Amino acid sequence: MEKIYIEPTRYTPEIYLDPDKGIISLKGKSYPENTFEFYEPIMKWIKEYSKNPKDTTTVNMEIVYFNSSTSKLFFNLLDILDEMRDKSKVIVNWIYDKENENAKEAGEDFVEDFPEMDIRLVEKDSLND
């Protein structure tokens, strides 16, 4: 499998996928015009990775804003990772700015939706990026 790096845009997050290190990283805003089309290669990569993952998979999600279709896609992404837990220790770091209550609440919702997963709510101070 190849590493994937996608530059951020005004509407899409920076994406970094590294199969050798077991890292999945999304950072920025996510409200592309066609969410499922944009994320299709990423989801395909993650499904392929989930067949033979590293012993530990670290997922860093620092999404400052996302629309409802991205929320659905993130649910699907976490569902794939949840199914992978028997092959890999999956750690999801949901990183949010302490000033961004919506991002924190979204992370809390995912914790409720996936109670068996290790989803960690990581508060960061926007002044100390």
Strand partners, 79: none
Closest CA to 75 of 23, 17, 36, 121: 36
Predicted pLDDT at 128 = 53
3-state secondary structure of 15: strand
Concatenate the DSSP letters of all residues of 37-62 into one string: HHHHHHHHHHHHHHHS--SEEEEEEE
**Which residues contact residue 108 at a Cβ distance below 8 angstroms, ignoring those fewer than 6 apart?**
121
pTM metric for this prediction: 0.93
Predicted pLDDT at 126 = 63
User: How many domains are there within the chain?
Assistant: 1
CATH number reported for the structural domain that contains residue 47 in this entry: 3.30.750
Range of the structural domain that residue 120 is part of? 4-128
Average pLDDT per consecutive 10 residues, the chain (129 residues; last block may be shorter): 96 98 97 95 97 97 94 96 96 95 95 97 75
What is the CB-side half-sphere exposure of residue 63 using CA atoms within 13 A?
A: 25
Q: How far is CA 24 from CA 3, 12, 98, 101, in A?
A: 10, 15, 23, 24
